Structure 1
């Protein structure tokens, strides 16, 4: 199975890969998201280390049960060959209704077939008020034309 765009990346294909990842994560469908990763993909997410699609599905299922109302924006930071660095922000609320904006950076490494074989993510959470929220689109992918991280000053 190939998952275009394939490495090596140029600016256009790296942007497309970042947007595809954002759109997939905004579905909040763990099994679907996991298909973008190699069967033995290795992750570091905050302080968790995991490997393989089953672990990815379990992780994302748990994540999105805790992080409700999740909406994500990713931006390309850099790319070279089969690697992409992205930055992101996402908003979510916990079960008590407290909103957060989480900021982070990801380093991605891709196999020749375009599946991600390594994902390293560093993330920080900041409590926000309802009035500070910036991501208001309906659940699902960010609409075309919605401001980017740069446009929002994030």
Structure 2
């Protein structure tokens, strides 16, 4: 049995945003809030960490190499499209996802009401059952830049199995 483990990490700055459409994309879900993520793409740190974990398991580099933030074709892109390309590469390499475990570290927004939908969407994107994906969140208890609502971060761990 061929197994591979990958770990991914991503972080983005946050800015206050009181606009009508203010909010963030996390785990493939738009969450209305008084902040926006500063990023070249939609800034979905959960999916970015997941992509890096998948690529890491394949020894396939990282999303910065695959989708450079200076390339205009990725400006504002939905991160689920990036994940679809990463999953295409996972399949082409002869692997499938066994499970994924993701941690969001953020003071804002509060995501507990959204994690079930995140898990459902990500499970669909990864081609696995809902109970093979876990998304959880914690705060930094007001400490450092994340605790001061200046940013957020995500870690992801995935297990791949050869087909």
Query: Hey, which of these two has a bigger chunk of strand by percent?
Result: 1
Calculate the TM-score normalised by the size of structure 2. Answer: 0.28
Structure with the bigger RCO (C-alpha within 8 Å, sep 6+) is 2
- When normalised by structure 1's length, the TM-score is 0.29
